[in-house]
Amino acid sequence: SKFDLIFIGTETAVGLDLEIEYNSDLYEHSSIERMLGHLVGLLSSAVESPGTPVGRLSYLGTDELLYLQSGLGHRDIGYPVEDTLVSLFAEQVGLSPSSIALVFGDIQLSYAALDEESNRLGHYLLEEYGVVRGEHVGLCLERSEWQVISMLAVLKCGCAYVPIDPLYPSERISYMKRDSSMRVLLDPRVLDNYLSAREQYSIFPVDIDVQAGDLAYIIYTSGSTGEPKGSLVEHRNVVRLLKTDAPLFDFGPSDVWTMFHSYSFDFSVWEIYGALLFGGRVVVVPLAVAQDPEEFSGLLLSEGVTVLNQTPSAFVGLSSRLVEQSVTALPLRYVIFGGEALKPGMLRDWYEQYPGVSLVNMYGITETTVHVTYKEIGAQEIVSGVSNIGRPIPTLGCYVLDASGEFV
Same domain, 276 and 306: yes
pLDDT digits (tens, 9 = 90+) for 129-182: 999 999 999 999 999 999 999 999 999 999 999 999 999 999 999 999 999 999
The pLDDT score that the predictor gives to residue 162 is: 98
pLDDT digits (tens, 9 = 90+) for 205-216: 999 999 999 999
* Residue 73 in this model has a pLDDT that exceeds 80: no
Domain boundary among 225, 243, 261: 243
In a domain, 159, yes or no: yes
In a domain, 36, yes or no: yes
4 Cα distance to chain centroid? 42
Same domain, 125 and 28: no
Distance CA 268, CA 337 (A): 13
In a domain, 72, yes or no: no
Three-class DSSP category at 162: strand
Note down the domain range covering 184. Answer: 85-97+108-243
In a domain, 135, yes or no: yes
pLDDT band at 9 (very low <50, low <70, confident <90, very high): very high
Mean of all residue pLDDT scores within the chain: 94
pLDDT digits (tens, 9 = 90+) for 214-232: 999 999 987 666 788 999 9
Query: What does each C-alpha distance from 36 to 1, 18, 41, 252, 316 come to in angstroms?
Result: 17, 9, 8, 50, 45
- Burial letters 267-291, b for 16+ CB under 10 A, else e: bbbbbbbbbbbbbbbbbbbbeebbe
pLDDT digits (tens, 9 = 90+) for 369-384: 999 999 999 999 999 9
Structural element, H or E, at residue 104:
strand 100-104
Strand-pairing partners, residue 373, are: 363, 392
* Residue 11 in this model has a pLDDT that exceeds 70: yes
Q: How many domains is the chain built from?
A: 3
Same domain, 147 and 230: yes
Strands annotated E in 195-267: 215-221, 229-234, 256-259
Same domain, 265 and 347: yes
Same domain, 176 and 221: yes
Same domain, 136 and 277: no
Distance CA 60, CA 402 (A): 13
**CATH code of the domain containing 231:** 3.40.50.12780
* Residue 116 in this model has a pLDDT that exceeds 70: yes
pLDDT band at 62 (very low <50, low <70, confident <90, very high): confident
Task: Name every residue whose Cβ is closer than 8 Å to that of residue 45 and which is 6 or more positions away in sequence.
Answer: 52, 57, 58, 59
pLDDT band at 327 (very low <50, low <70, confident <90, very high): confident
Are 269 and 309 in contact, with CB atoms under 8 Å apart? no
Task: Residue 280: name the closest of 267, 291, 271 by CA.
Answer: 271
In a domain, 380, yes or no: yes
Distance CA 185, CA 14 (A): 77
Least confident of 33-37, 198-202, 401-405: 401-405
Contacts 24+ apart (CB under 8 A), 40-43: none
Domain boundary among 216, 243, 270: 243
Same domain, 52 and 118: no
In a domain, 401, yes or no: no
The pLDDT score that the predictor gives to residue 140 is: 98
Q: Identify which has the larger pLDDT, 383 or 388.
A: 383
Are 342 and 312 in contact, with CB atoms under 8 Å apart? yes
* Residue 75 in this model has a pLDDT that exceeds 80: no
163 Cα distance to chain centroid? 16
The pLDDT score that the predictor gives to residue 223 is: 66
Are 212 and 236 in contact, with CB atoms under 8 Å apart? yes
Same domain, 285 and 373: yes
Same domain, 199 and 254: no
Task: Name every residue whose Cβ is closer than 8 Å to that of residue 203 and which is 6 or more positions away in sequence.
Answer: 116, 117, 119, 120
In a domain, 398, yes or no: no
Mean pLDDT of 247-274: 97
Same domain, 42 and 146: no
Domain boundary among 209, 243, 277: 243
Same domain, 234 and 370: no
Distance CA 308, CA 256 (A): 9
Distance CA 198, CA 125 (A): 11
Same domain, 256 and 386: yes
The pLDDT score that the predictor gives to residue 328 is: 79
In a domain, 76, yes or no: no
- 3-class SS shares of the chain: helix, strand, coil, % to 5: 40, 20, 40
* Residue 387 in this model has a pLDDT that exceeds 90: no
**CATH code of the domain containing 343:** 3.40.50.980
Of the chain, the percentage scoring pLDDT greater than 70 comes to 99
